[in-house]
């Protein structure tokens, strides 16, 4: 089982967009996909509930809900046989709590927007992941995604300069696209939409998927089996 955590304490960075796109991709490939939504806004959960019965199934865990009838560990249990788990974290996760999400994560994706405020927030996020959550660069678990990017802008160039100082891989650059809005509204993943409508966006996801397929080391665990299947045949 591969566990992918999408994390950035800064609200509005695009965590849910990444999470539901990954969930749709793996589901349409036939993986037994679990999506865990920790965000009190419940946007990822709403997206799952919009899906039609004929679409590939996604098992939802609405972690933001409080259920006094069961224990927290029972509420968050992952079904046996799950192939991939995608975790959409909430905003404002404190540095001391980051390890709760990252300890068993095979991959950690940090989305960042090209703005001074977001770059500053991402600096703190990466620093906390490295120093507080003890994520080692050598484990190949941590990657950054530049989100809602307009390439020919000064702020994008500033974002690139910032990322070059991190010594953390930039695994993908995603443009600002209405297709992500349509995806959220329809319950369809980007990879489930008509290819001629989303071809440019799909091409930008290739680097992210390739990075997810590379081996990583989770302390205390053996490598997740079947990770080389992430890419496989083109969807």
Task: Tell me the whole-structure pTM to 2 decimals.
Answer: 0.90
The residue among 131, 99, 108 whose CA lies nearest residue 216 is: 108
Angle at 145 between CA 142 and CA 148, to 5 degrees: 160
Q: What span, in angstroms and rounded, lies between the C-alpha atoms of 170 and 164?
A: 8
pLDDT in the model for residue 150:
80
Break the chain into its structural domains and give their ranges. 2-209
Structure confidence at residue 222 as a pLDDT band (50, 70, 90):
low
The residue among 84, 99, 111 whose CA lies nearest residue 3 is: 84
If you write DSSP's letter for every residue of 7-50 in order, what string do you get?
Answer: --SSTTSSHHHHHHHHHHHHHHTT--EEEEE--TT-HHHHHHHH
Detail the DSSP E strand segments found in the chain: 2-6, 33-37, 58-62, 84-88, 107-112, 142-149, 170-175
Sheet containing strand 84-88, edge to edge, reads 58-62, 33-37, 84-88, 2-6, 107-112, 142-149, 170-175
**Both structure tokens of 7:** 């994390």
Mean pLDDT of 190-216: 96
Structure confidence at residue 228 as a pLDDT band (50, 70, 90):
very low
| CA 88 to centroid of chain Cα atoms | 7
**Both structure tokens of 75:** 């509420």
pLDDT of 233 strictly over 50: no
* For the chain, counts of helices (H) and of strands (E): 8, 7
pLDDT in the model for residue 231:
42
**Both structure tokens of 9:** 């304490």
What number does CATH give the domain 2-209? 3.40.50.300
With beta carbons less than 8 A apart as the criterion, state whether 112 and 146 touch.
Answer: yes
pLDDT for 69-122, tens place per residue?
888 888 899 999 999 999 999 999 999 999 999 999 999 999 999 888 998 899
With beta carbons less than 8 A apart as the criterion, state whether 15 and 89 touch.
Answer: yes
C-alpha distances (whole Å) from 217 to each of 3, 66, 108, 112, 139 are: 12, 33, 12, 24, 5
Query: Which residues pair with residue 5 across a beta bridge?
Result: 87, 108
């Amino acid at each position: 089982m591969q566990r992918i955590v999408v994390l950035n304490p800064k609200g509005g960075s695009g965590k849910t967009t990444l999470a539901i796109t990954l969930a749709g991709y793996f589901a349409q490939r036939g993986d037994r996909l679990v999506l865990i939504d920790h965000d009190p806004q419940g946007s990822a959960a709403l997206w799952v509930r919009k899906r039609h019965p004929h679409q590939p199934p996604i098992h939802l865990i609405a972690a933001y809900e409080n259920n006094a009838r069961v224990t927290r560990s029972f509420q968050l249990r992952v079904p046996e046989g799950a192939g991939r788990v995608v975790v959409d974290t909430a905003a404002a996760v404190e540095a001391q709590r980051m390890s709760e999400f990252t300890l068993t994560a095979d991959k950690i994706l940090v989305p960042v927007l090209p703005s001074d405020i977001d770059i500053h927030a991402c600096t703190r996020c990466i620093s906390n992941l490295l120093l507080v959550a003890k994520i080692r660069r050598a484990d190949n678990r941590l990657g950054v995604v530049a989100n809602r990017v307009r390439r020919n802008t000064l702020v994008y160039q500033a974002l690139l300069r910032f990322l070059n100082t991190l010594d953390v891989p930039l695994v993908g650059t995603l443009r600002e696209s209405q297709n992500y809005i349509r995806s959220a509204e329809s319950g369809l993943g980007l990879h489930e939409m008509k290819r001629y409508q989303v071809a440019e966006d799909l091409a930008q996801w290739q680097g992210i998927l390739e990075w997810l397929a590379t081996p990583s080391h989770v302390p205390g665990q053996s490598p997740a089996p079947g990770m080389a299947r992430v890419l496989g045949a083109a969807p």
